[in-house]
Amino acid sequence: MNIEIYDSRIRTILNANGELETVATGFEFTEGPIWHPYEKHLTFSDIVGNTMYRWDRKSGACVFRQPSHMANGNTYDKQGRLLTCEHATSRVTRTELDGTVIVLASHYNGKELNSPNDIVVKSDGAIYFSDPVYGRRERVGVPRSQDLNFQAIFRLDPGSHTLTPLVSDFENPNGLCFSLDEKQLFVNDSPRRHIRVFDVLPEGTLANGRVWAEVNGEGKGVPDGMKFDSAGNLYCAGPGALYIFDAHANLLGKIPLPEQLANFAWGDDDLCALYLTATTTLYRLRVNVPGRALF
C-alpha cells in the first residue's frame, strides 16, 4: 500500500505492507459506516442508491433499509440504537431495538432542517449533528429551496429533547467528532477545507471556535467523515486520501484511495480494521492502532 508519510510516527499507526481490500462494490455513493461491537456487523449508507446496507463476513452486504430516504451519516447511541441522518426528509431518526423508527428532529422553530449529514452522541446522551444544504441538491438529495437561512451544528438535549443550533457561521458543516475526553468538538467545513475546534461547555454548548487544521490536497473529495482513534489521532476524509493528524494538528500521513473517500469506521473484533466508504466501494485496511467502540 502506498502511504504518504509526513512524520515517521505514522509508521506506528499504519503498516506499510498493509493491503487495501475490496469488501463490497457496485454502489453509487457510500457513506456513514458504523460497526456494531457486539453483533459484529457494519451498517452503511448508499445515498444516491437510496439504500442502507448491512455487511458481515458470513452474508456479505445485504439490504438493511430501502428506501432509506437518502440516508447519510449513522451512529449508535449508548443503548445501541441506530441514529440516522436523512437527506431526502431533512430528518434525524432513531431505530429502536425492536426495529421501530421514530423521528428525533426534523424542524427548528417551525422551519424544516436543511439536510442532517453527520452525527455523534456524547456520553451524557446528547446528540450533535451537522446540517448543511447538500441534501437539497441534485444527485445526493432532493432539489428544493432552503427553509432555514443558516447552516449549523445542532444539539438535541437528551432530557428535554430541545433542539438548539450551537454554531451557525459555517458555509457547510460536515464531519464532526469529540475529543477523547469530550472537552472539545471538532467540525470540518467542507467548502472552506478546514477543521475547526470548539470547547464544550458544561451545559453542552460550544465556545471559542478556531481553525485547527487545513485539509488540502490533490484528488477528488473534501473534508468529510472525521473520527479519533484510541490513541488520540484524528482521521479525516479529504481530497484524494484519508488524512491522519496527531493531537496537535500535525499531519502525520495520508492513505490515498482509488475513489473519492467520504467516511470510515473501525471494525473487526479488535477494532483494528479501517472500513472505508469510497463512492462505489467499501474497502478494508488493517491498521496497528484500534478505534473506539460506539457503545
Q: What is the mean pLDDT of residues 211-229?
A: 97
The whole-number pLDDT of residue 16 equals 81
pLDDT in tens, 24-81: 999 999 999 999 999 999 999 999 999 999 999 999 999 999 999 999 999 999 999 9
The whole-number pLDDT of residue 224 equals 98
34: closest CA among 90, 105, 82, 103? 82
- Cβ proximity of 118 and 225 under 8 Å: yes
Query: Mean pLDDT over all residues of the chain?
Result: 98
**Residue 1's pLDDT band (cuts 50, 70, 90):** confident
Indicate if the pLDDT at residue 127 is higher than 90: yes
**Residue 17's pLDDT band (cuts 50, 70, 90):** confident
**Residue 246's pLDDT band (cuts 50, 70, 90):** very high
β-pairing, 4-5 with 206-214?
unpaired
The whole-number pLDDT of residue 210 equals 98
pLDDT in tens, 150-183: 999 999 999 999 999 999 999 999 999 999 999 9
Rounded distance between C-alpha atoms, residue 179 and residue 232, angstroms: 7
The whole-number pLDDT of residue 237 equals 98
pLDDT in tens, 196-210: 999 999 999 999 999
Query: Could you give the domains of the chain?
Result: 4-286 (2.120.10.30)
Q: What is the mean pLDDT of residues 208-223?
A: 97
pLDDT in tens, 252-283: 999 999 999 999 999 999 999 999 999 999 99
